[in-house]
Every structure is written in C-alpha cells, then in structure tokens.
Amino acid sequence: MLFHKITWDEDHPFYTYHSASGTSITIRPGDKSPDGRTVTKEDIRILVSLHNAEVKNNIKNCKAPLSDREKAAVREWEESHPGEKAPAKWNASLDCIVDDHEEMDCTPIMYEIYNRTHAENPAIDRLWELIDQMTEVQRRAFIMFRLEHKPLKEIAAELGCCVSAVSRAVSRAEDFIRENF
C-alpha cells in the first residue's frame, strides 16, 4: 500500500515503481515501454498523478471510523480548546481505550506495537542505523530526496544551500550506505 505522495519535478521527471517483492524500476522520458513505445514526460506525469491518487485513497480508506468513546474524546478536547477544531487526522491516544487511564501505563502496548511492525525487516532497521550515522546535511538531504521524493531545488531552498551541494550530500549518503550495508 502506498502512503507517501510524490512531488512532481518538471525539470527531472521520473517515476520509481516499487514491487511487493522488493525490487524497483525507475522510468524516465525516453525509456522504451514493454510494448515498444517511447515513454514521454506526460506518461510520467500520469504515473505520478495515479500514484498520488492511490495514496489519497489509501489514507482515506485505511482510517477506521471513530468509536463513540473516541468521538467523546474529540468533543472533550474541542471543549477544552475553545474556537479550535480537532485536526482531521486526529487519533485518540491509547489512554482513551481504558476506563481508568490514570493508573495504566501504555508503554508495554506501544512497545508491542513497535516490535510487531519492525521485527519483520532487519534490513530496514540497518538502513535507519546507517542514516542515523550520517552528517546532519547528508541525512536530511537523503531523506528528503530519496524517501520524500522532493526535487533538489526544493531541498536546497530548505537547507539554505545550492543544488550542487545537495546533490553531493545525497551522493555521499548513498556511497556511505553502499559501503556499510
């Protein structure tokens, strides 16, 4: 399931498809499709648009409706914050699922949730260990470029540096991962 939107970059259009088996393929204008057609910039724009539509649909459909208890918690929060509306992506904390939440420590529940979601893939854990060892600029540039799919120009503006510096930081981060993975 897709949960992260892709930013369209007019200057550097591409689309990377990640299969369930863990393989990926990057498609760029000028590539040949399986039926022999030449991929155009418009084809890439459509793929990005379809990707982002699926992300929106997944997020919309994956959020379970609020229970009566959660609805009451939202109302209580809104009453204690006059003039404010609860965020659209609001989720009740684990505390609201127990009656006597002042005496319950939710840490074991959170620990169990973390273990169930992360125990399956040690490669992802190793990747994050390596990302944590990078310099601040390399880490931020790599995450924004490779994981958030932001264009180099946007990253450069956020980091307050030139595009070539961002490109070098991403390249060094990728080299670091290749050497240490």
CB atoms under 10 Å from CB of 15, counted, come to 20
For residue range 65-112, list pLDDT tens digits in order.
Answer: 777 887 888 888 889 888 888 765 555 444 444 444 455 555 565 555
Is the sign of the CA dihedral 148, 154, 156, 159 positive or negative? Answer: negative
Q: Report the pLDDT averaged over residues 133-159.
A: 90
- Token pair of 17 as six digits: 């498809």
CA 167/CA 37 separation, integer angstroms: 31
pLDDT at 27 over 70: yes
Residue 53 has pLDDT above 70, yes or no: yes
pLDDT category of residue 117 using cuts at 50, 70 and 90: low
Domains in the chain, CATH or no CATH each: 15-62 (no CATH), 68-118 (no CATH), 122-180 (1.10.10.10)
pLDDT number for residue 92: 46
| pTM for this predicted structure | 0.38
pLDDT at 18 over 90: no
